[in-house]
Amino acid sequence: MSNDIFNFSAGPAVIPKTVLEKIHDGLDDFDRGMSITEVSHRSEAFKNYAQSSEDSLRSLLSINDEYSILFLQGGATHQFALIPMNFGTETGSLDYLVTGAWSKKASAYASSIANVNVVSDSSSNNFTDISDSSTWTVNDRADYFFYCANETVHGLEIHEPIESESPLICDMSSTIASRPIDIKKYDLIFAGAQKNLGIAGVTILIIKRDLLSRVNKGLLPILDYSKHADDASMLNTSPVFAWYVSGLIFDWIKDQGGVETMA
């Protein structure tokens, strides 16, 4: 390109030039003359690539085998519905910390599925501040505690993991891989790839296997996280191209020295 254009919008983010060049190569020939857009998600070539990309992400974020990693379609907003469907119970409640547009939307989605307890709502101050945690109305027996690490619309960011007696679930769409994460503090992390880990079309979930064992029974398989985990994110046709780009981004981050160096 004669003129490089830098996109400073909320997302999608800039793709490194070296990654763009590799994307071009994959579009031309990913496997024996076939484009990445033509290859089957069940082909050996792509299965090997998928496993390699998962291994790279585990290495980058120090994710141990207590966690499953899913590469799913639907975007982060889709998870706003799937999370309460999978883990909300009829007799329990769900804790939501509302600090901006995204957690507010997530809370609204969950409210149509289960009983939501909003532990604190920053809309009262136009999302300019988060109240002290000592004032939160937390239910220590909640099915889970949900928050968004960085609210890109209103600008509030939570830098450290929240202390919770309930399973901790976090939307990290705009912060994942920007600095080291203590994965062990969380039960589920999810992120739309287009902010930090690739392009729109794939959403990455890091889920503790113990939490997967608690998925509600009776869900249609396509809505069931445990079924996606059992089928290595290939329960249905995978977002092959977007997954391919994410794998290239993982490798690029590694080449820069990893998350610790880039933080």
Q: Which residues are catalytic?
A: 102, 171, 195
Structure tokens that stand for 15 in this block: 């793709």
What's the burial of 81, exposed, middle or buried (CB within 10 Å: 0-12/13-18/19+)?
middle
Structure tokens that stand for 164 in this block: 């919770």
Residue type, 233: S
Q: Are 46 and 39 in contact (CB under 8 A)?
A: yes
Sheet arrangement for strand 67-72: 67-72, 203-208, 188-192, 168-171, 144-148, 94-98, 116-121
The three-state secondary structure class of 113 is coil
CA torsion sign for 184, 243, 70, 44 is negative
The three-state secondary structure class of 207 is strand
Nearest to 48 by CA among 38, 58, 40: 40
Strand extents, DSSP E, the chain: 67-72, 94-98, 116-121, 144-148, 168-171, 188-192, 203-208
Nearest to 72 by CA among 224, 160, 253, 201: 201
Strand extents, DSSP E, 104-223: 116-121, 144-148, 168-171, 188-192, 203-208
